[in-house]
Amino acid sequence: MDYKSFQNIVEEVKKKKPLLFALESDEKPAQADIDAFEKETGITLPQKYKDFILDFGGGYFGFANIYSFDKNSSFYLLKHNNRPFDKYLKIADNGCGDYWLFCIENGKCMENVFFNDHGVGTTIQTEYRDILEYLTAIGLKKKF
């Protein structure tokens, strides 16, 4: 999904369901925060994730959440990820012990969103080709 289409969907949903956006959100990071994370971890994040985080911050987003760069938040990205990073970066959870993830290949997070089900111990690729599709479907309950 392109970022402009995502922004249009967000605005449409905000007009119809403003309470979805009334929950706390995390501080928006500066580009320098994202750059520092990438340098420190050796992981390149997907551009759409970076764009979203710069615009919205993170934390609660409608019915979903998204990990952020706000070190004072319970949604802080590094709070949920064990080091050293293996093949996945946790980017969100469902509040029940399961995680939404990016697959890491050669130090780069792939765009596709994966899901880790702790109950059965499996990680699968989802239908979401990027973070914007995940946030649209899960956070805004809209078809993409």
Contact 73, 58 (CB under 8 A): yes
Mean pLDDT for each consecutive 10-residue tract of the chain (144 residues)?
A: 97 94 90 95 96 95 94 91 82 94 96 95 95 97 88
Residue 77: both structure tokens together: 């990205």
Domain ranges of the chain: 3-139
Distance separating alpha carbons of residues 67 and 86, to the nearest angstrom: 18
Task: Look up the pTM and report it.
Answer: 0.93
Tokens standing for residue 99: 């995680």
Nearest alpha carbon to residue 89 among 144, 35, 42, 140: 42
pLDDT for the residue 107 = 94
- CATH classification (class only), 3-139: alpha beta
Among the listed residues 88, 96, 57, 49, the one whose alpha carbon sits nearest the alpha carbon of residue 73: 57
